[in-house]
Amino acid sequence: MSKFENKKIMPRYSVIAIVMTLISIFIVGKAFYIMTAKHDYWMKVASRQKKDSVSVKPVRGNILSCDGQLMASSIPEFKIYMDFKAGGHKKDSMWLANVDKICEGLHRIFPSKSIAAFKRDLEEGRKDMNQNWPIWDKRIDYNTYTEVKKLPIFCMSGYSGGFHKEVFDSRRRPFGSLAQRTVGDLYGAKDMARCGLELSYDSILRGTNGITHRRKVMNKFLSITDTPPIDGADIITTIDVNIQDLAERSLINELKDINGNVGVAIVMEVGTGDVKAIVNMSKCDDGEYREIKNNAVSDLMEPGSVFKTASMMVALDDGVVDTTYTVDTGCGVWNMHGRDMKDHNWRKGGYQVLTLPQTLMYSSNIGVSRIIDDHYGNDPERFVRGLYRTGIATDLHIPLVGATPPKIRMPKKNRRGEYVNWSKTALPWMSIGYESQVPPISTLTFYNAIANGGRMMRPRFVKKILKGDQVIAEFQPEMIKAHICKEKTLHELQTILEHVVSQGLGKKAGSKSFLVAGKTGTAQISKGIGGYKEGGTNYLLSFAGYFPADEPRYSCIVCIQKTGTPASGGGMSGLVFHHIAEGIMARSLKLDVSDARDSTSILIPNVKNGNILAADYVLNHLGINTNTGWGGSYANGNPIWGTASSNSKTVNLSRQAMYRHNITPNVMGMGASDAVYMLESRGIKVKIQGRGKVVSQSYPAGKLITKGAVCTIKME
């Protein structure tokens, strides 16, 4: 007989088994519940406690001008939040005691939102016990963030007070829209390059991501770096900010005067091929001009009469003509293989007989086309090969996305010896700038080679790549062709191009202070299937040249597209060229500031408000006493803004407290330069009336700056 009593033991085992089964079912059920219903909650908890192999973005490199000024830079921006669960009851009681002060402070920093609105929103977040409640719905800069951080509770640590931030890298251009399409831009917070040098050198500017993970150490969560990020390198461009600004203002002023549609201006340094300025302006629906597309490197258009120089270079270089050659242009209309060719003065009877230099000086379509057709009509391939020899059809490999090489077609024959892509009229019209597509940058490179003694330089946009003080890569000036033509041909054309400006149609591009050489161009723009005559006629007005002609330093091309007449390459594009050349050459004058002092005068000058550091520098060199309550060096200091007053012996310069960056500054009493700088650096568009000192500003000082703000300043 068994010593165990089965009747007593088995029920006990059954109870234990049932309990174990129920516990197992509960555990499985709870696990299933956590995996489904509570999945999102616990995933958030896990994300806060542990993060493995998290990518850390590096700081994007800067883009700088040729003299080291920032043209694009990454700065931190912040979004601010409140964790209402942090700090427990102690923080909650402090919140109730300080909520009014907090809302008043937020309204002072963000005046567009009322105190009541701030309080209502924050109380809603506190009611929900939200751990990531946005305090302000937009990104803020570092200065604004530090102001918010000074408020009660917000000044506490994130664990105690609950105030925390999210950091973003924002791409900023200190000079605003200056050279925007060339410098480039990013797609907002995505750090994805859109265009320009930002896109072409994206891999260099971007840097390399790092890797970090998050761990809880002694009740605190720490981000532990596994692989540190490698910040992007800086690139030094060839752009000169002052020349860029000069070219942009000159072009926009002319576009507004003539109601132009598109304008392009490029300035290149002759010896190196460095692009010092590149402007692309398109008229927008609101009537303002902005950089929408990099037309300078991407527009494939028929260049017009600026192309005639290349045609004459081929003819002179081949020896089929010389500078004494004469051509009859008749009364200004000449039938070329069944199609009338016209000169611009055909209604006045034309030019009659012209010498070869005069065909370029007066930009005679008939003269140039007859010379080329008479000597190359039976062998057009020879002429096109000559064009290729000049380098005007060369692919320049511009380091900007969207850049396109010139398209100058070569005549082709079929097996029977018949041309398949050519007609009798193709050669005459090609010789005067039609039947081909050449972007402005290629035309300028050709003229730059003429100025450079026949040496064609590749346009250079980037000089160096820097990482800190270390030069990673340096791009030296690169010569594409050592000779674009014979030396004799080059000297003859240089002389002719000087005469175009001094005696011909390019007089408005000239200067009384230095010699200018160049060529005008006025061409009708084809409208595709509609041809040249459908609707209002569109024109491409150009002037390409260099200065000073006796010792060339800079070459420049200005192209303007406009609808209807009047349309003059020399009178419109040439005028822009004149303003750019005069402005650039004026910078070369090295004068001592003491030369401005009149030894016979004892008068104290009338000093305007504005950058008093600059005023102090000039006054001291003029030997005029100034009373100042601050220090600083004009050579290496930032502007010091203030007011100026004077008596019979001294000038009193007083420093003035400045408004924050999002508040309109007071520019009363300032000169135009300082006033425009102060307002436009804060994103306000400026319109100027009159000259002298600012006596009124339409956008009042102390007002919050809104997007698209425009301020008209009246000067007397």
Whether 11 has a pLDDT exceeding 50, the answer reads: yes
Show the CA angle centred on residue 49, arms to residues 219 and 142, nearest 5°.
90
Q: Which two tokens stand for residue 485?
A: 């033509």
Rounded CA-CA distance 450/484 in Å is: 8
Whether 635 has a pLDDT exceeding 50, the answer reads: no
pLDDT band at 178 (very low <50, low <70, confident <90, very high): confident
Whether 700 has a pLDDT exceeding 60, the answer reads: yes
pLDDT score for 2: 54
pLDDT score for 526: 67
Rounded CA-CA distance 682/679 in Å is: 5
Per-residue pLDDT of 19-32, as tens digits, reads 888 888 888 888 88
pLDDT band at 527 (very low <50, low <70, confident <90, very high): low
Compute the mean pLDDT over every residue in the chain, rounded to the nearest whole number: 84
pLDDT score for 714: 86
* Count of other CB atoms within 10 angstroms of residue 56: 14
pLDDT band at 1 (very low <50, low <70, confident <90, very high): very low
State which of 156-165, 427-436, 620-629 shows the largest mean pLDDT.
427-436
Whether 622 has a pLDDT exceeding 90, the answer reads: no
pLDDT band at 589 (very low <50, low <70, confident <90, very high): low
Closest CA to 461 of 60, 62, 65, 194: 65
Whether 258 has a pLDDT exceeding 80, the answer reads: yes
Closest CA to 447 of 322, 315, 270: 270
pLDDT score for 488: 95
Please say whether the structural domain 241-586 has been given the CATH code 3.40.710.10. yes
Rounded CA-CA distance 353/4 in Å is: 139
Closest CA to 408 of 366, 382, 440, 438: 438
Whether 534 has a pLDDT exceeding 50, the answer reads: no
**What fold does the segment set 54-236 form as a domain?**
Penicillin-binding protein 2a (Domain 2) (3.90.1310)
pLDDT band at 644 (very low <50, low <70, confident <90, very high): confident
Whether 396 has a pLDDT exceeding 90, the answer reads: yes
Task: Tell me the HSE value of 59 on the side-chain side, using a 13 A CA sphere.
Answer: 14
* H helix and E strand count, the chain: 21, 31
Q: Which two tokens stand for residue 417?
A: 């010896």
Q: Which two tokens stand for residue 538?
A: 């569109």
Q: pLDDT over 70 for what percent of the chain?
A: 87
Report which of residues 508 and 92 the model is more confident about.
Answer: 508
Report which of residues 383 and 169 the model is more confident about.
Answer: 383
pLDDT band at 477 (very low <50, low <70, confident <90, very high): very high
pLDDT band at 501 (very low <50, low <70, confident <90, very high): very high
Q: Under DSSP, is residue 198 helix (H, G, I), strand (E, B) or coil?
A: helix
Give the CA diameter of the chain: 145
Sort 562 into a burial class: Cβ within 10 Å, 0-12 / 13-18 / 19+.
buried
Q: Which of 271-275, 526-530, 679-683 has the lowest mean pLDDT?
A: 526-530
Q: Provide φ and ψ at 296, rounded to 5°.
A: -60, -30
Write down the CATH number for the domain with range 596-715. Answer: 3.30.10.20
Per-residue pLDDT of 323-337, as tens digits, reads 999 999 999 999 999
Unique residue bearing structure tokens 């010699």: 515
User: pTM for the full model?
Assistant: 0.71
Q: Which of 23-37, 343-357, 486-500, 605-619 has the lowest mean pLDDT?
A: 605-619
Rounded CA-CA distance 458/441 in Å is: 10
Q: Which of 29-43, 118-132, 609-623 has the lowest mean pLDDT?
A: 609-623
DSSP, residue by residue, 324-391: T-EEE-TTSEEEETTEEEE-TTGGGT---EEEHHHHHHTT-HHHHHHHHHHHHTT-HHHHHHHHHHHT
Whether 684 has a pLDDT exceeding 80, the answer reads: yes
Beta-carbon contacts of 445 under 8 Å, excluding residues fewer than 6 positions away, are 268, 273, 391, 392, 394, 396, 456, 457, 458, 459
Beta-carbon contacts of 138 under 8 Å, excluding residues fewer than 6 positions away, are 79
Task: Find the distance separating the first CA and the last CA of the chain, reported in whole Å.
Answer: 127
Mean pLDDT of 153-165: 82
pLDDT score for 216: 61
Per-residue pLDDT of 35-87, as tens digits, reads 887 777 777 666 655 556 677 778 888 888 888 888 888 777 888 898 888 87
pLDDT band at 715 (very low <50, low <70, confident <90, very high): confident
Mean pLDDT of 231-257: 91
pLDDT band at 5 (very low <50, low <70, confident <90, very high): low
Whether 367 has a pLDDT exceeding 60, the answer reads: yes
Q: Under DSSP, is residue 41 helix (H, G, I), strand (E, B) or coil?
A: helix
Q: Provide φ and ψ at 447, rounded to 5°.
A: -70, -35
